[in-house]
Structures are given as structure tokens and as C-alpha cells.
Amino acid sequence: MTVSAVDLAGELKQLRRGRGIAAPQLAERAGPALRAVCGTAENDENAAIRRRLTDCLSEWTRSLPDDLRTAVLAALGLHPEAVKPFYQDRVRWLAGHLDRDARTARRRIDEGLDRLAEIAVASTSESDEVEACRPSRRWHTEELRVTLALDQPIPEVFEFRRIVADADDITELDLALTLTDSVYRGEVIGTDDLRVDVFHGGLLTSRAMESTDRVGLGLRLPEPLGRHGKHEVAMRFRAEFRHPHFVCVPRHPVDLFDLHVRFAQPIPSDVVQLDRVFQGDVSDEAARGFSLTADASGEIHVQFRGLEPGFAYGVRWKPSEPGPRGSAN
């Protein structure tokens, strides 16, 4: 079924009435567009539909600005502080939370639901495209731990990765690093521009430009890895560029991504967490997640679980001066 954002937004505005997501006859209240994008089955009962819609809608709201995310969650009865039996009660709660009048609260809700519908439709389409071009599932990353040091003369990325074989005879890993909007954009990124060091776990055997800003890397394992076997790799990347954002856009599934970032002085005041956003939206300030505050050492620490190929996970900040961006794949 082809779903339009306009149809989906209309159904979401119908769903917000009454008890919202807690409506007792949810199977009748949830429209065909909403059920299509959330992937519910025709014979699903209310509990299963409610669980699926809650998971999908909560996930998609993460791509909304904070005020619109709160507005949408409150309107649908998904915000823990706005679980009220009537829509008007939830509007009043939102107005008080935003310190605005009820009319402004309703406008935020309408704006948020319209944007949420766009995100949901794009996410469904994007997921189909990602699935079509996704590499064959021969291995995945069980754990990826990254430390980004921005306070060094040349920024350094330390990467520690544990992979698990999902097929037999895994001999090489296909990795990549993207220098988004770097000073090398449109030019060949040479070995002196991007330094790659393997500390343990394999031998770097190939390096090729996959696009104007993405370098593909081939890492040959010391010996073939059998199905369910595990292997650890440690690498370092260095490049002459600054990072207004750092994200992981995995080619293969990642169970855990643990990221430490140490900022140079002056420490940015506006740092946000990006969780499952489209790679093209990483630099868009409209794509916002939770606000983060660096500690006394100028560091932040975030974790992500269940990373899906093709989506971006990481952090973005506003540097003291405009600069290029970087991301890892």
C-alpha cells in the first residue's frame, strides 16, 4: 500500500482524540495508512496494535525538535506526564508545560503530527531502499567502542570493534570512513590526508574512493572466521578536519555503539544526540535529539543499541567557528 504523508497526518489527528493510543477499540481507530507504515497484521488484536504503534511512533518522534516531540507524545497519550482520558486535558497539560496558551499548544500538535507523518512515510520508503542495497548479512558488529579526541593537533578516532560471523569462511571486513564536507571534498583523499592505523586484528589490504568523500577499506582477518565466531579489531583514524558532528552509519547491523567525545576548548554549549536519523539529515538543525552537556573534562559519553544499516547514530554540536563535518561507517 502506498501511503501519503497527508493521509497519514489525517489519521494521526483522528487518533489523538479521546484516550489517544489508549483507546479501547484501537483496531477500529487506527487507520489503514497508520497500520501500513507500522506494519500491523490484519488480524492483530488491540494489545498487539497498541504495542506496535507505540514502538513506531515513539521511535519516529526522536527525529522531531524537542518541543514538537513533546507535543506529539502528549497529544497521542504517549507522554508519561500526559496520560489523561481526554484530548483537551492533554492540550491543557502541554500548554502549561510549554508556558503557552492552548491555541499555541494545538498549533504545535498539528505541526508535530504533520512532520511526524512525513518522517514515518520517509522512514518506510528509506527502509525499503536500504534493505534493497544492504550488503549480504555475513557478519555484524556485536560491540563498537569509539573514542574521538578533538583536542589533539590532528583529530584522532580510536575504534575498537568486536564482530560476529553470521556465515562461514569470513576472511575480510568491508569498512569505510566518510569525511563529510571536508576540505578534501571533490578531490582524491590521499594516505597523508587520512591516516589509518591497524593496532590489532587484521591487515589493511585495500583502500578505494567509493564517492567524493567516502573511503572504503578492506581489512583481511588473520584467519577465516567460522559461523558464530567472534573477532576483535582495533584501529585509529587521523585527518585534518573538524567535526561539527560524528555519527556511525553502519553497513552491517551493530548491537552496541559506545561513543566518547573529548572536545577542544572552548567546549561547545549546544550538543545533541542523534538517534536513528537519515544520514542526509545529520547536519539539519531541525533533526534534534536529547541535549547533552559536556562534563568538567570537556567530554560526553553516549550509547546506542540495535543500530540499523543506513541510519545515523551519534552526536552533533555547534563549534566555536563554522567547520566541516566527519562521520564513520
Domains with residue ranges and CATH for the chain: 5-133 (no CATH), 139-328 (2.60.40)
CB 264 within 8 A of CB 196: no
pLDDT tens for each residue of 24-61? 889 888 999 999 898 888 788 888 899 889 988 988 88
Coil/strand/helix, residue 293: coil
Handedness of CA 178, 201, 224, 207 (dihedral sign): positive
> Which of 14, 92, 26 has its CA nearest to residue 53?
26
74 pLDDT more than 50: yes
In angstroms, rounded to a whole number, what is the distance separating the alpha carbons of residues 147 and 75? 39
* CB count in 10 Å sphere of residue 130: 14
Distances (CA, A) of 273 to 103, 285, 289: 30, 12, 5
CB 147 within 8 A of CB 328: no
Using the structure block, give the residue that is written with the C-alpha cell 568538567.
296
82 pLDDT more than 60: yes
In sequence order, which residues have a C-beta less than 8 Å from that of residue 60 and are 6 or more positions away?
116, 119, 120, 123
pLDDT at 327: 52
Q: Provide the CA 254 distance to its chain's centre, in angstroms.
A: 12
In angstroms, rounded to a whole number, what is the distance separating the alpha carbons of residues 48 and 52? 6
- Region 143-159: mean pLDDT is 92
Q: Which three cell numbers stand for residue 72?
A: 506529539
CB 262 within 8 A of CB 151: yes
- Region 260-276: mean pLDDT is 89
Handedness of CA 24, 27, 31, 33 (dihedral sign): positive
pTM confidence score: 0.56
- Region 111-131: mean pLDDT is 74
Average pLDDT, the chain: 83
- The more confident residue out of 25 and 72 is 72
pLDDT at 318: 83
pLDDT at 323: 47
